[in-house]
């Protein structure tokens, strides 16, 4: 059966989405079913429910990273040309007339809504991808709903922001291609880049998603034909930062013999003091209200 705008609006309201809400949306259009009008209809339904005072945010990641092995070919970044590689809904949203897209070559975000221009501002490649100067702390502070429409919590980029904020030493660097003002192709260095393995990636339940569920943070429902899960960003930050204080390797995988995670654990062992020293900073930023690191 065809999924219509009205059906989507009804499902979103039933899920508990309210006017004025900020939503950070990870999505799969296909999972919603046969939607009359496609991605635009899905975006339109979210916008109708949250109203013009709300904000709909999507990641618009792009294949601009230079593969050190010389394998996959990178495309130069240009925020008005480069497609999003994370699905039709995201690639449709950034192209909308009133959308704003951040100017980050590897991990840009796009948003529509009253505060969208301010939200995407200053996301420059010279600053860490998910750092305090990026859009990420802005939606966390606002306790935005991070919503997974037909996709698993394995694609939760906001978890990388927590890694960055406490300076977990396994975040790396990457070279990305950027189109310069005269059309020339430049190579820029991106820092705080989330390469390598994580224990929360993938389609299935992981020890990380199970923990978030156990803490009672996960809302579940259905929109169109898609299964939907959602978590509140600031609530997630509290639970994860508390956990990472005791177990800074919690977001890594638990497979024996994983070279990346083994090396990452070694680096963590050398920087526990630096990691813990970040907690008062996050408290000062309004991103952490827990009792750790007082
Ligand atoms: Zn691993």
- For the stretch 59-103, pLDDT in tens is 999 989 998 777 778 899 999 999 999 999 999 999 999 999 999
List, run by run, the mean pLDDT of 10-residue segments along the chain (294 residues). Answer: 96 98 98 97 98 98 87 89 96 98 97 97 96 98 98 97 98 95 95 96 95 98 98 98 97 97 98 96 95 70
Give Cα separations from 193 to 22, 170, 218, 228, 257 (angstroms): 25, 9, 27, 28, 23
Cα of 27 vs centre of ligand 1, distance in Å, is 25
- Predicted confidence at residue 293, as pLDDT, reads 64
Measured between alpha carbons, how far is 42 from 223 in angstroms, rounded to an integer? 10
CA of 263 to the centre of ligand 1 (A): 9
Q: What integer pLDDT is reported at residue 294 of this predicted model?
A: 59
- Tokens in use for 160? 């990388």
Cα(207) to centroid(ligand 1), Å: 13
- Measured in Å, residue 94 CA sits from the centre of ligand 1 at 33
Rounded to 5°, the CA angle 136-46-228 comes to 75
Q: How close is the Cα of 266 to the center of ligand 1, in Å? A: 13
How many A from CA of 251 to the centre of ligand 1?
9
pLDDT at 24: 98
Instruction: Check residue 50 and give its pLDDT.
Output: 98
């Amino acid at each position: 059966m065809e999924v219509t705008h009205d059906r989507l609006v009804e499902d979103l309201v039933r899920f508990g989405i309210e006017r004025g809400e900020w939503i950070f949306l990870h999505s799969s259009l296909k999972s919603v079913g046969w939607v009359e009008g496609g991605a635009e209809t899905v975006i339109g339904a979210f916008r109708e429910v949250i109203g013009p005072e709300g904000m709909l945010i999507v990641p618009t990641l792009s294949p601009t990273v230079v593969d050190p092995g010389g394998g996959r070919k990178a495309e130069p970044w240009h925020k008005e040309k480069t497609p999003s590689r994370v699905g039709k809904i995201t690639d449709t949203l950034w192209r909308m007339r009133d959308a704003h897209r951040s100017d980050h070559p590897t991990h840009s975000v796009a948003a529509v809504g009253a505060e969208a221009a301010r939200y995407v501002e200053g996301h420059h490649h010279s600053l860490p991808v998910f750092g305090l100067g990026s859009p990420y702390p802005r939606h966390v502070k606002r306790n935005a709903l991070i919503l997974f429409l037909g996709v698993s919590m394995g694609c939760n980029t906001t978890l990388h922001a927590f890694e960055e904020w406490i300076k977990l030493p396994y975040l790396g660097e990457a070279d990305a291609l950027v189109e310069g003002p005269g059309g020339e192709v430049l190579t820029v260095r991106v820092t705080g880049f989330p390469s390598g393995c994580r224990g929360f990636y993938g389609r299935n339940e992981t020890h990380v998603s199970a923990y978030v569920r156990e803490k009672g943070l996960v809302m579940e429902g259905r929109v169109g034909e898609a299964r939907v899960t959602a978590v509140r960003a600031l609530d997630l930050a509290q639970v994860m930062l508390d956990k990472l204080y005791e177990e800074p390797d919690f977001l890594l995988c638990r497979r024996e013999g994983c070279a990346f995670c083994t090396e990452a654990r070694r680096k963590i062992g050398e920087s526990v003091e630096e990691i813990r020293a970040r907690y008062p900073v996050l408290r000062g930023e309004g991103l952490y209200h827990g009792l750790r690191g007082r």
